Structure 1
Amino acid sequence: MSLKAIAFGSIGTLIETSEIQRSAFNNAFKEHGLDWNWTRDDYSRMLLQSGGRQRIAAYANTHNADVDANEIHQTKTKLFDAHIEEHGAPIRAGVKEVIEFAKQTGRKLALVSTTSEDNIIATLTVLSGLVDRDDFAFIGNASMVENGKPAPDIYIKAMHDMAIKPDEVIAIEDSEPSLESAVAAGIRCIGFPGENTAEQNYDGAIVRVDALTTAMFSDK
């Protein structure tokens, strides 16, 4: 089958967000009167679990803290979105070229994420001028599926909505749980670690890279 779609699996495969996310978590903890501080090593380990709300809940459980994980996560999301809307975030290596390649060659673009819709909007604001919302054949968010990554649900929905088969799409993922989501849906996946996920396991990927190139997609 020929390649019909390129699926960016998270906002972190488009822009480098990890340290901005960690800072937003720590600032949200302060706003809620908590003395928690996630170091970079702490956060790197936590990224083995998908979902910020789930990370907060798990951390609270291990520290016997009675907190509203949903409320804290909402604060974190607002802080994160405000930061990247005001200051931007660096576009990851090769992303611009791959997006332009997809648009020029008629491949569909997808953002197969299970983050919040607010985070999606903030990310597309950063990418304004390179890609518009209408350039994506599919944009996922957390409200679309019952089970987030590493479950394959969001990829299955994306393929259904785009009317494509698993061998007609290549995914790009920046973490082990998200890679597992794509592989569980039968999709070939490129491992594209972010600055805090480099130590994770990408054995299920067809290749692991630090920068994207159009050659990864042009002969598929």
Structure 2
Amino acid sequence: MADLQALLFDVDGTLADTERDGHRVAFNMAFDEAGLDWFWDESLYGELLAVTGGKERIRFYLEKFNTTFAKPENFDAFVKGLHEAKTKFYTQLMAEGKIPLRTGVEALINEARAQGMRMAVVTTTTPANVTALLESTLGPDSESWFEVIAAGDIVPAKKPAPDIYIWALEQMGLTADQAIAFEDSLNGILSSSAANVKTIVTINEYTKEDDFSKAAVVLNHMGDDETPFELIAGEVYGRNKLDLALVKEIFAKA
């Protein structure tokens, strides 16, 4: 078996609870700015998360939940403009420090960096959103800690397609059996597993009922000294926080 060479991190829901308190809020701010009476509450947004990608989520909303909306003539430009406004507001929320990293995330990233472990971001969110989150939580130079930022429309088919993982691995010159992924959702685990990448899942309120049978381990969060994680599925060998040693052991034995 190959040695572990890289950690591949999803962003939304994995590094931070960005969906409920970040993206959802920013979407509503964009709708208000555009003079639309749309409002995505927490329950509705949970249903919209069935689709990955912000522009795709707007289209899904209009196809399934707001079917009477009269689409403007240049619909593609309309959707793009709404999404750009949403990204602006999301970046603003991040700059204000409204969204902290999830338990244990910063410690694992710092440990991996200190030990020279290669890291990448593999996400469907936009590059601007990735930058906003990393800079607001880990510092202004933190984006450079990640060898590859695979984000947004860099590949045509978004998660649950495996394309974004395949692309990231190619950029790093790695094979699937040399990396481990961190995900939080069904679309995420479908993407990583289809790319044959072993995956650790940390659930959140939106994804706790998802099918994670393809994951190596499923936890409620990564855990730290003060707040140990809860094991939902898999084996953690008597540990209660996800440090690099445990990640390597999960990788080796999965």
State whether TM-score is above 0.5: yes
Match of 1:139 among 146, 149, 153: 149
Partner SS, residue 109 of structure 1: strand
Partner SS, residue 189 of structure 1: strand
Number of matched pairs: 220
Question: What aligned pairs does 1:1-16 form with structure 2 within 5 A after superposition?
Answer: 1-16=2-17
Runs of 5+ consecutive residues of structure 2 not aligned to the other structure: 73-77, 223-241
Match of 1:158 among 158, 168, 186: 168
The structure with higher relative contact order (CA 8 Å, sep 6+) is: 1
Residues 47 and 197, structure 1, Cα contact 8 Å, conserved in 2: no
The alignment status of 1:188 with 2:198, answered yes or no, reads: yes
- After TM superposition, the structure 1 stretch with the greater mean CA deviation from structure 2, 126-135 or 175-184, is 126-135
Partner SS, residue 13 of structure 1: coil
Partner Cα distance (1:188, 1:216) in 2 = 14
Q: TM-score, normalised by structure 1?
A: 0.92
The alignment status of 1:77 with 2:87, answered yes or no, reads: yes
Residues 10 and 111, structure 1, Cα contact 8 Å, conserved in 2: yes
Partner Cα distance (1:80, 1:94) in 2 = 23
Match of 1:61 among 46, 55, 63: 63
Larger-gyration structure (1/2)? 2
Residues 88 and 126, structure 1, Cα contact 8 Å, conserved in 2: no
Residues 16 and 195, structure 1, Cα contact 8 Å, conserved in 2: no
Match of 2:45 among 37, 43, 46: 43
Hey, which bits of structure 1, 4+ residues long, moved more than 4 A? Answer: none
- After TM superposition, the structure 1 stretch with the greater mean CA deviation from structure 2, 87-96 or 195-204, is 195-204
Partner Cα distance (2:220, 2:144) in 1 = 28
Q: TM-score, normalised by structure 2?
A: 0.81
The alignment status of 1:217 with 2:221, answered yes or no, reads: no
| Residue-by-residue CA offset, 1:118-147 (whole Å, 9 max, x unaligned) | 111101212334972221111112132111
Question: What aligned pairs does 1:85-164 form with structure 2 within 5 A after superposition?
Answer: 85-129=95-139, 132-164=142-174
Residues 127 and 149, structure 2, Cα contact 8 Å, conserved in 1: no
